[in-house]
Structure 1
Amino acid sequence: MRINDRYCYGWAVEGLVQYEDTVEVQIHDRVSNIRKPIRSPYVAGCDGAWSAVRKSLGAELEGGPMHRAVALTHFKSKDLERIHRQGRFWHSLFPMDPTTNNGSISGAIIAQDGKETWTVHDYLGSDYNADDVTAEKTVAQVLGNMGSPYPISLDEITATSIFTPTVANAKTWTSNHQRVFLAGDSCHQTILSGGYGMNMGLADAWDFGWKLAATVQGWGGTHLLRTYEQERRPVAALMQHWSKIHMMKLMGLSTAVRLDPVVIESMDEHGIALREEIDQYVQENDDQNQSFGVVMGYRYESSLAVLNEKVDVERAAPQFDSRSYIPTTFPGSRVPHVALSDGSAISGGFGKGFTMVAFLQKEAVAAGDQFQMAIALASFAEAASKHSIPLKSVCLMNETHAFRIWDACFVLVRPDGVSAWRSDSLDKVHNASQVLLQATGHSLPL
């Protein structure tokens, strides 16, 4: 638990009561058995899948647990001769024998550093006995897969647990007075395939963090915090959807291919054919490692996206593709990472608040557009100062490559690296105050 920028170990949240302008949180020190209330203007519930904050809000989960539990073992081992018997790997998944099971995945091993730190997942049956689940047995059983247990030398067991993968999304992420908010596993949970869980939690914090800071500092509008759930909840649903698809494709190997633990190691034509068949299936169903569109290609659709009638109609947002990320500065999209001519990242020049990125090419200088750019940037700087909105201007001269990818003369970038507004005209910039006030939640689209 964290209070006033301090970590308080041993304390737990037991519940909370929300008022119009504050939140009272009941906390419990389990060591001294002391209970006391604390008050705060806002509360962020980042307290995991069993979130006491979510339960206090009465926010129900849509979805639920999967039908199989998983035994997790983190361990250290330098027994690389046996671990790398089949070659080096990042993730190795072990399918079940379809002749004795319905076909699925029996387990997996993950190389955390490729040298000595590993994680094993053992997908348990419904009739497992927790007392029989030990780290040594779990590792040997998973690595042995369809054959006999395959023991390795274990130097250290760093953690073990048994958990049930869950796909669920809270019906609401915020309280009725916009004082309590949920983030991470407290409001969404997903299965492991695709690795979306932590990505979602970090992006929740990034989205909510700047909006809360803007509100507390006084430059965020009354609509700003409401957009947190509007933007992030659909992204969680999107990633949960694709994580299930990834898992179904991984599980499908054992039924799509006639597996045989003896034939697969054979060097005759049967062994070669089986390995080629497995390779073909994996290459055609590798979405969990190739879904760049799911990770980076989503777009926030909220009132903070200030649409430019001319530019955003002519250059509409790219159609979503789960496997491909298409760079765009369409409002609501993650602005593209790109290297400038000196090798630095364009994002290295962003400020802590909003950033206005302006491009000017050599041919435009001769036409006198440099003066128009200065006027346009000055109008935004003046509007930002008037409304106490932190704004940094970044002028990029003759950055042809970056300009081609960003595809706009002006792009207003939010503190979380998302495009808020763009324009391709130096002399016909929208009303600067109107753009900034909408992007910070002070006003709704006209």
Structure 2
Amino acid sequence: MESDPSDTESRPMLEPQKVPDDTVLIIGGGPVGLMTASVLAYFGVRSIVLERNAEPTRWPKMDLTNARSMELLRKIGLADQLRELGVPSNIPYTVLMSTGLSQDSAFASWDHPSVDQYRQNIESANDGSQPAEPYLRVSQNIFETWMRDLCQENPLIDLKYGFKLESIQELEQEARCTVVEIGQGEHEYISNYVIACDGASSRCRKFLDIGLDGGPTEASFLLVHFKSHDLEHLHKQGRFWHLFMFANGTFGGAVISQNEKDIFTIHYPLLNGVDESSISSEDAIYTVLGGLHEPYKIKIDEVLVRSTFRPSIAVANSFASPELHLFLAGDAAHQNIPTGGYGMNTGLGDAFDIGWKLAAVINGHAQKGLLRTYETERKPIAYQNVQRSGVHMGVHLKAVALLDDRPELIESSSPEGIGLRKKLFQHYKDNDGENKDMGIEMGYLYDSPVCLPDSTGTKPNWEPRRYLPSTWPGSRAPHIILSDNSSIFDHLGPFFTLVEFQDREAENSRGRWLVTAANALKIPLEHAQLRGEALAARVWERPLVLVRPDGHVAWRGDHVDTLSQASGILEAVLGYYC
């Protein structure tokens, strides 16, 4: 953790830099750091992003931006741009389970809809159970490059490359970061607010002595990212997004189609004691594709990059420093195994939560106590998502157990072989929540002091498998297509929005006191008055619903009777009493 003294002496210490009070310092310019900067900029707040690497990652890593993340990107006006970079919207997201591409067919599949079909499902259901945006397959290297370009063009974001964090210290009134500008010298940045988005091995977390609950798993993998146009052989069992392979008594690895054209990634399981350098990239690819059988050779155009990966399941003990000058986000705060795609998507949720809250405090709309609720809200979600990723991995491990005694039976035409195939098929049919558990993706509920409970209602039950639409405070407000074919989300303002449902003949506003109080407190509040929207009114459950910038409900009720009551509600949801 300590730097080499001789190395420190050889570098000149440049003048300390005081970050302006209206500017946030972000350590790490990966997807979560860039998303945080973009959210701050959306709310008019400047940021400085310090990133060590001059080039974006070459690795695809995350390959699915889930529906909730797409909603958050939509909020800041970026969803449509990202869709132009993803997999074409007409291609289904099929997952295959196979014992090897030498066989005629996979033994099970999950048939996730294409984006086009997903949109049709959203429009046809329109009962509050669907997201406003379908998911999107796009590799992290594409996502990160795109976000870098956007941030470089944004006048509110100062993106600096070649800066490596050396140390960080929190004082009562500020945080002090020592960073090395590669090839130049050391800088000291003094900032009111720092957001650490510096990955799983976060130096920020270590210097603040914040421990982790959990750690690395026993499994490790060799990842090979390659290009191949040999689709005749790769698609022998059908076009796929993910292809899970099974070998003799073990999980045989996975193949990911990154762009539905020519770029793929394999995850090759490494046995204990095996030196990955002794395995050629080509042999690793052939072995994974072979599954239970002999290596399956394809034509490889180019090996793009390879590395080893050891999954970790961990959550930081704290997401914020004691004086609320530094906050952890993304992998610095939590790490999970890839199944379910919760890693970066959880990080994007972190970015939006801390982004809007810091902007509210810096812009003078909220009290600093609001920042305490970042950990209160996001830490339980991190635990929830980490646990669920393990549940999804357990589905594949159960399949390994079903194959374990006599894996060759799966290819047999004997009654035992037919029975085993039926058992595996049913197993995957009954346990298909990976990338489908909408309760995890959209149904999480913030149990937070700035989400005021409804004394007249009952807190809804939570199910990981499905999203149950509710406006219980803390919930994500449901998406509904209104009678004019607009999304109810399009009627929400940038900051807080009071949604009021009215009969067509209603003359008086039930929300007038909240609007008056917001004006008196100088809080930007959109007042969305929706007349004659019976479906939306029924799904949203109350005539008055106060929605936060992140789309979660802060308060709901039937009426507000006095200016004092209205002021109390707004002060509570903006951290005055935290």
- Partner amino acid, structure 1, of 2:577: S
Aligned equivalent of 1:27:
179
Mapping 1:85-104, distance limit 5 Å: 85-98=236-249, 104=250
| Distance in 2, Cα, partners of 1:111 & 1:34 | 42
- Give the one of 494, 507, 517 matched to 1:352: 494
Structure 1 residue 360 displacement after superposition: 1.4
What SS does the corresponding residue of 2:344 show, helix, strand or coil? helix
Q: Does 1:232 align with 2:378?
A: yes
Structure 1 residue 404 displacement after superposition: 1.7
Closer/same/farther in 2, CA of residues 426 and 56 from structure 1, 3 Å limit:
closer
Q: Does 1:415 align with 2:561?
A: no
User: Normalising by structure 1, what TM-score?
Assistant: 0.90
| Distance in 1, Cα, partners of 2:367 & 2:181 | 37
Structure 1 residue 196 displacement after superposition: 0.8
- Give the one of 131, 155, 170 matched to 2:301: 155
Aligned equivalent of 2:81:
none
Closer/same/farther in 2, CA of residues 309 and 261 from structure 1, 3 Å limit:
closer
Aligned equivalent of 1:297:
443
What SS does the corresponding residue of 1:359 show, helix, strand or coil? strand
Structure 1 residue 268 displacement after superposition: 6.9
Structure 1 residue 425 displacement after superposition: 4.0
- Partner amino acid, structure 2, of 1:54: R
Deviations 1:204-224 (A, max 9, x none): 001110000011111111310
Aligned equivalent of 2:466:
324
Structure 1 residue 90 displacement after superposition: 2.0
Aligned equivalent of 1:7:
159
Structure 1 residue 94 displacement after superposition: 1.4
Structure 1 residue 48 displacement after superposition: 0.2
What SS does the corresponding residue of 2:324 show, helix, strand or coil? coil
Structure 1 residue 148 displacement after superposition: 1.2
Structure 1 residue 427 displacement after superposition: 6.5
Structure 1 residue 262 displacement after superposition: 5.6
- Partner amino acid, structure 2, of 1:235: I
User: Normalising by structure 2, what TM-score?
Assistant: 0.70
- Give the one of 42, 45, 52 matched to 2:203: 52
Deviations 1:93-147 (A, max 9, x none): 112322xxxxx42201122232322221112111121212333222111111111
- Partner amino acid, structure 2, of 1:434: G
What SS does the corresponding residue of 1:15 show, helix, strand or coil? strand
Deviations 1:354-405 (A, max 9, x none): 011111134xx2xxxx2332xx333222211221211101111111221121
Structure 1 residue 260 displacement after superposition: 6.2
| Distance in 2, Cα, partners of 1:428 & 1:299 | 29
- Partner amino acid, structure 1, of 2:382: A
Aligned equivalent of 1:371:
507
Aligned equivalent of 1:172:
318
Structure 1 residue 342 displacement after superposition: 2.1
What SS does the corresponding residue of 1:251 show, helix, strand or coil? helix
Structure 1 residue 59 displacement after superposition: 0.3
Would the aligned equivalents of 1:253 and 1:281 in 2 still touch at CA under 8 Å? yes
Q: Does 1:114 align with 2:260?
A: yes
| Distance in 2, Cα, partners of 1:81 & 1:271 | 28
| Distance in 2, Cα, partners of 1:390 & 1:134 | 59
- Partner amino acid, structure 1, of 2:342: Y
- Partner amino acid, structure 1, of 2:295: P
Aligned equivalent of 1:202:
348
Structure with bigger RCO (C-alpha 8 Å, 6+ apart): 2
- Give the one of 224, 242, 246 matched to 2:388: 242
Identity among equivalent positions (%) equals 38
CA-atom RMSD, angstroms?
A: 2.1
Structure 1 residue 337 displacement after superposition: 1.4
Closer/same/farther in 2, CA of residues 143 and 405 from structure 1, 3 Å limit:
same
Aligned equivalent of 1:406:
540
Q: Does 1:432 align with 2:578?
A: no
| Distance in 2, Cα, partners of 1:385 & 1:393 | 12
Q: How many residues align?
A: 426
Aligned equivalent of 2:514:
380
* 429-438 or 319-328, which deviates more: 429-438
| Distance in 1, Cα, partners of 2:400 & 2:175 | 52
Would the aligned equivalents of 1:106 and 1:124 in 2 still touch at CA under 8 Å? no
Would the aligned equivalents of 2:560 and 2:566 in 1 still touch at CA under 8 Å? no
Instruction: Mark the runs of 5 or more structure 2 residues left unpaired by the alignment.
Output: 1-27, 29-48, 51-155
Closer/same/farther in 2, CA of residues 343 and 141 from structure 1, 3 Å limit:
same
Would the aligned equivalents of 1:135 and 1:160 in 2 still touch at CA under 8 Å? yes
Instruction: Mark the runs of 5 or more structure 1 residues left unpaired by the alignment.
Output: 99-103
* 274-283 or 40-49, which deviates more: 274-283
| Distance in 1, Cα, partners of 2:560 & 2:365 | 27
* 334-343 or 110-119, which deviates more: 110-119
What SS does the corresponding residue of 2:214 show, helix, strand or coil? strand
